[in-house]
Structure 1
Amino acid sequence: MTDQLPHMLRADAQDNRDRVMDAAKALFSEHGLAVTMREIARRAGVGPATLYRRFPTKQALVEEAFAQELRSCRDIVDDGAADPDPWLGFCSVIERTVVLNVRNHGFVEAFMSEDREAGGFAVHRATLFRKVAALARRAQAAGGLRRDFVIDDVVLVLVAARGLASLPLDTRPTAARRYAALAIDGFRASTAHGRLPRAPKLGAAVTTGRAKKPS
């Protein structure tokens, strides 16, 4: 019995951790980052002390909860960059990223945040956007992507896609694919395109990982 006790304690601790992670992922996905640690503990069926023992800060819990989504984003961008046709690779990145993100309100909020507390997300975001920008330059050189495209346009598409989170959960993937198709059609090089208005400066903080200075 004495030998079994440490194993039982470890198993109980792992069970608590798993329940916390499941609760955090579900609540962040449904309601975004406004969810409190107390709400997560309540959903997980653990006390606040147990939650804070595992995750001393909310940011630590957020980063752990979205580790898989970050890996998926990296895979999407790397796959697009590896496509021998840069335009098709660029289209794949837009579509797959929009579809991935529309399923998880909290991840989009964390990934796109300019808050300095977003630390790890800012670093990942800056790296991924640099790769997307390089892919876009190749797609432009190949004639697939419109010449007046700027990386801020990708940021604009992702920020605008947040509105899809207000739709019923079961309709979001279909809506996301149509939204992505419309965006891609707008990115496509065509003599029928009119001149674009001036691009908003969205990329400075988002693509470099540096938060905007307060005005």
Structure 2
Amino acid sequence: MADEPPPPLRKDARRNRTALLSTAKAAFAAEGLNATLKGIARRAEVSIGTLYRHCPTRMDLVATVIADKKRAWIKAAETAVAMESAWDGLVFFLERTCELQAGDLAFNDIASMRFPHAHGIEAAGKRAFDLGGRIVERAQAEGTLRPDLAAEDFAFIVWAQARISEATHAIDPNAWRAATSP
């Protein structure tokens, strides 16, 4: 039946999968989504065929390794929408997004929609955008955010942070905080 879960992995296959995913997560964070799959397989000490058995495409691998970050991004937006003070929610969401981007070039690529139509990524981006719109609307209704600002303006902040993170990730992944400190 198509709905049955796959059989459990053998011990060596589990070890290979764990090595691949942790190596891919580190490689994508350091090099962005263009990190080579051959390099990831080599550093994980498995063959490229083993990598493709576990994740048939690059975007399958990417979606797997950034799943936690996508969930954290959506959770931050949901938390921001639920905060009593709309302004505090807006600030929280922006800071949390910057924290998630800091030192992770793969998440920068995702958040800045470098791969907007990728499997498993488009839905998270749309959900974050929709929630971002609600965050903006709440802050405007509260009177703490200018009425001429739009949810689309978040993209400029995310893109700017992506470039800051890209430029400083090897030196100081939290350099972005200097710009936000009083």
Q: TM-score scaled to structure 1, two decimals? A: 0.75
Report the secondary structure of 2:172's partner residue: helix
User: 1:42: which partner in 2?
Assistant: 42
Q: Give 1:152 deviation, angstroms.
A: 2.0
Q: Give 1:113 deviation, angstroms.
A: 2.7
AA matched with 1:157: I
User: 2:173: which partner in 1?
Assistant: 172
User: Highest Rg: 1 or 2?
Assistant: 1
Instruction: Please show how residues 61-72 of structure 1 align to structure 2 within 5 Å.
Output: 61-72=61-72
Structure 2 unaligned segments of length 5 or more: list them: 1-7
Q: Give 1:163 deviation, angstroms.
A: 1.7
AA matched with 1:54: H
Q: Give 1:168 deviation, angstroms.
A: 4.5
Structure 1 unaligned segments of length 5 or more: list them: 1-6, 186-215
Report the secondary structure of 1:118's partner residue: coil
Please list the CA deviations of residues 173-197 of structure 1 after superposition, one character each: whole Å capped at 9, or x if unmatched: 2x22233x38xx9xxxxxxxxxxxx
Please list the CA deviations of residues 51-104 of structure 1 after superposition, one character each: whole Å capped at 9, or x if unmatched: 111111111000001000011101111111110111110110001111111221
Instruction: Please show how residues 152-163 of structure 1 align to structure 2 within 5 Å.
Output: 152-163=152-163
User: 1:19: which partner in 2?
Assistant: 19
- Identity within the alignment, %: 30
AA matched with 2:73: C
User: Quick check: 1:134 aligned with 2:134?
Assistant: yes
AA matched with 2:135: L
User: Comparing both structures, which one devotes a greater share of its residues to helix?
Assistant: 1
Q: TM-score scaled to structure 2, two decimals? A: 0.88
How many residues are aligned here?
A: 174
Is the CA contact (8 Å cut-off) linking 1:80 and 1:93 kept in structure 2? yes
Is the CA contact (8 Å cut-off) linking 2:86 and 2:139 kept in structure 1? yes
Is the CA contact (8 Å cut-off) linking 2:24 and 2:65 kept in structure 1? yes
User: 1:194: which partner in 2?
Assistant: none
Instruction: Please show how residues 47-196 of structure 1 align to structure 2 within 5 Å.
Output: 47-113=47-113, 115=115, 117-164=117-164, 165-169=166-170, 171-173=172-174, 175-179=175-179, 181=180
Distance in 2 (alpha carbons) for counterparts of 1:70 and 1:115: 14
Report the secondary structure of 1:40's partner residue: helix
User: 1:209: which partner in 2?
Assistant: none
Distance in 2 (alpha carbons) for counterparts of 1:130 and 1:106: 22
Report the secondary structure of 1:172's partner residue: coil
Report the secondary structure of 2:10's partner residue: helix
Distance in 2 (alpha carbons) for counterparts of 1:166 and 1:28: 15
- When residues 168 and 105 of structure 1 are mapped into structure 2, their CA distance, relative to the original with a 3 A threshold, is closer
- When residues 146 and 30 of structure 1 are mapped into structure 2, their CA distance, relative to the original with a 3 A threshold, is same
AA matched with 1:69: K
AA matched with 2:173: R
Q: Give 1:117 deviation, angstroms.
A: 4.6
User: 1:201: which partner in 2?
Assistant: none
